[in-house]
Structure 1
Amino acid sequence: SIVLVALEALHRFLRASSRKFGPEQFPALTQSYRIPFPDYNSEKKTTTVKVSTMPKVAEELMEMVAEAMAEQEEHEFDMPVLRDDLVPPNSFLSLGVLPWESVEYLRYNTKWHQEASEEIDTSGEGLPVVVIQTSLPKANKLIEDIQEAEGLDGICFNPGEDPRIDAYYDLGILKTSDGMLHLFGEFIEDDPTHVEARKKWDRRCEETEGWCGLVIARGITGASRGKPKFKDMVAFFEVRSLPGKELGLGTLQLVEQQSLSF
């Protein structure tokens, strides 16, 4: 019965005073009401209820809410997002190595070249590279998108899994200079060909002290499919090989919507 009396008083207060409140307005108000007592066996037929606002408490609560929302936004901002809309679908992907003579040639003979920020150690067999081969229009669009993202920062491989079929992947990731992460390839983790390619990739990156490259090539439907010639290579990026832990993604899982979550 006490709860019913309190609710009735609050209802009357809000009905009479609601227009006095706003998004940043919480005035100090006090009202008293005579409320019928719902217990008919009681000698008291009515009771007086005073309803008052507490602006200071309301302000403290608003500050707590604002701080919580700011922390949530900061957490969401810091959380890395993996996108899969940069590399054209059905591109031909491969891991390989460019002899140093080829590296020198591409530096001066491609449509777009992003040079390394320091001199690369050339004592190894060559520069480890990811080759993305697609059509010329899509290659040009890929180059433009990377330019709009302020360039390419690095290349990384990160573990992924599909728990529905108990499958594990080695995910190839490009990090652009605007901080975004882009999926460029999903490789079966225990595929012998990829396992061998990854071993060579890691060894070659050690030899170059962490430097690698990205080659964008045309000619996916021609005779040079899978083996682009110099004339097919339209862009060459010299970037860092990034450790997976640096991205902070952990193991990515393929969910029902066919997207990657972490």
Structure 2
Amino acid sequence: MSSLPVTTKHRINRIPQIPHVWEGDIFPIGEMLDNLEPELKSNGQCIVWVDGSEGFIRTMDVVKGNTGPEAMVRALLKAIEKPQSPAEPARPHKVVVRDRELQFFLRGALQGLDIDVDYQGDLPLLDELWNNLQQVQPQKVGNIPPQLLEKLEERAIALMWEQAPWTLLAEYNLIEIKINAYNVESLYACVMGMMGQEFGVIFYRSLDSMKKFRLMAGEIGDSTMEEGDIERAFLQQDCWFVNFSLDDSDFDEEDEEQQLWYELFLAEAQYDVPVQVVFGSIHPYEGIRPLVDVEELDPLYLGIEALGKFVQKNKKRLEKDPTQNISHQYSIKLPWGNNKPHPVKVRTMPEVTAELEAIEGNLHDDFAEEEDTDIISSDLFPEDCVISFASFPEDIIKSIEAKPSVWVDMEGIEFENENDKIPVIIIQTTRPKGKLVVEQLIKEEGIEYLFFTSGEDPFYGGTFDLPMIKTQGGINHVIAEIEQEGETFANTVKKWSQKTKKWQGKCGVAIAMGSTGVNRGSPKEQHILAFFATELVSKEKAGLDKLVLNIEMM
């Protein structure tokens, strides 16, 4: 059974203990709270903690019916730290519940807090209060001085947002930050943002928690999972997080300049885009919350500073191969307190990366076995990828084939003379995203054929050219949605397609990195991550003459 995080124990133990007995229970909501959304009203529960000595409610939480016993702990922590008025922060001498399993669970979860947990079959005070309950009072959290959060935000923007580690690392490229201070031995950092949807860094306080969550998250694709299961998996994490989001407080959809900011933000471009920084914590017994204690700032600041210095020093090495062993030690001073320097060691964890890749690979294989064949997917290739049309001579193929880190599939392609060039479509993205694409294409046993079709959006209007591939695994992947404005793309495809006739339709698909650098749209040989031999077929042969976007694609 996981325990409360060290920061929480420290925080709670500082709160004075009172010789009071608190009673806690879970009630079905039924018809008593009419202001709730229909799902909670029909399948919700209400957790109540009452000070039996004083006779008033300290906290009340409304949760989904299958949230789990951890919700009782989260509610109790609120009752201790941020109780409803007129109660003051206090720690009880004893808590009483009328469920044996819950009693044993709380005993394990509350170890080290000097709180006895007892069982009592009948709690009449709770029943009476519940029968008269009419509304939930809002809670307030957070007691950190704003100037300290401003310093933390300033460093997060400078070292995380401006350096964009998510363009170098995938979310399974774990970085250990060994602190050995402030009751934290190590933090395990991973990035968010490689799919261009959400940007940030997660600092796991427990390696086991990270592995457990990744395993549970991999199972979320199962259609039998309910919303409560997904929420429970998310709340099983034990981490601090730093999220970056567009500052839309003054956002005007009609303002073209602000629209450009938004597009740059989604495209991972590191321009002067106004962003908001959100700091928070997730724990099974605390839920998701903002930072509420000054003691949390110290290890989080050290983690941000150390990771930022590590990325800055090793950018080229990480871009080349983030799975290699890299280790550095830094001396970091906090901008508050006594400014004593802290030695912090940072290292990559290739062994854990390999373990996570193996876990995800098994989950994808299991999921693929359950899926129907010949499906259409628009999820493999990132929305911001760039398509180029080229021709490769044999020496380029041999050159990239000699690199152990590049996957090359040349089946069915033979060069008859030194002047021959095989037609190639190059799909360029960032290195982490490109590696994910290559891994998935390898799992699907390569590319069976390439084709070009069209699609229309029934909701917003407009038609699109759709370059697509079908893998040997029977999945049709949309590479990009290109708006049909003029004949530029169609003419380029036509000219390029003529070159495949000499090769009896054979061609190649190359995955390349470098889409955020100066070589965007014109990748070089050193940017190639993989080459797949395939053939160009008509959309009629592919059986996908025209698609209706957002309806037929999955």
TM-score band, normalised by shorter chain? 0.5 to 0.7
Distance 2:417 2:428 in 1: 26
The equivalent of 2:201 in structure 1 is none
SS of corresponding position for 1:227:
coil
The equivalent of 1:93 in structure 2 is 387
The one-letter code matched in structure 2 to 1:147 is I
Distance 2:523 2:430 in 1: 12
The one-letter code matched in structure 2 to 1:198 is V
Quickly say closer, same or farther: Cα 1:222–1:252, change in 2 above 3 A.
same
Quickly say closer, same or farther: Cα 1:88–1:166, change in 2 above 3 A.
closer
Q: Does the alignment pair 1:211 with 2:506?
A: yes
Map 1:9-88 onto structure 2 (within 5 A): 80-88=374-382
SS of corresponding position for 1:185:
coil
The equivalent of 2:486 in structure 1 is 191
**Identity fraction in percent:** 29
In the alignment, structure 1 segments of 5+ residues that lack a partner are: 1-75
Greater C-alpha Rg: 1
Distance 1:178 1:107 in 2: 24
SS of corresponding position for 2:463:
strand
The equivalent of 1:201 in structure 2 is 496
Is 130-139 or 186-195 further displaced after alignment? 186-195
Instruction: For residue 153 of structure 1, report the CA deviation from its aligned partner.
Output: 1.4
Quickly say closer, same or farther: Cα 1:114–1:244, change in 2 above 3 A.
same
The equivalent of 2:451 in structure 1 is 156
Q: TM-score, normalised by structure 1?
A: 0.61
The one-letter code matched in structure 1 to 2:494 is K
Quickly say closer, same or farther: Cα 1:261–1:180, change in 2 above 3 A.
closer
Selected match of 1:103 from 371, 380, 397: 397
Selected match of 1:142 from 426, 437, 453: 437
Q: TM-score, normalised by structure 2?
A: 0.30
Distance 1:124 1:260 in 2: 43
Deviations 1:221-250 (A, max 9, x none): 122111111111111111111221122123
The one-letter code matched in structure 2 to 1:95 is F
In the alignment, structure 2 segments of 5+ residues that lack a partner are: 1-370
Root mean square deviation of aligned Cα: 2.7
Quickly say closer, same or farther: Cα 1:123–1:154, change in 2 above 3 A.
farther
The equivalent of 2:524 in structure 1 is 229
Distance 1:121 1:247 in 2: 29
Higher relative contact order (CA 8 A, sep 6+): 1
Q: Is the 8 A contact 1:124 1:208 kept in 2?
A: no
Distance 2:389 2:523 in 1: 13
The one-letter code matched in structure 1 to 2:520 is R
Quickly say closer, same or farther: Cα 1:144–1:157, change in 2 above 3 A.
same
Q: Is the 8 A contact 1:171 1:185 kept in 2?
A: yes
Q: Is the 8 A contact 1:126 1:204 kept in 2?
A: no
Distance 1:198 1:112 in 2: 25
The equivalent of 1:171 in structure 2 is 466
Selected match of 1:127 from 416, 422, 431: 422
Distance 2:517 2:418 in 1: 34
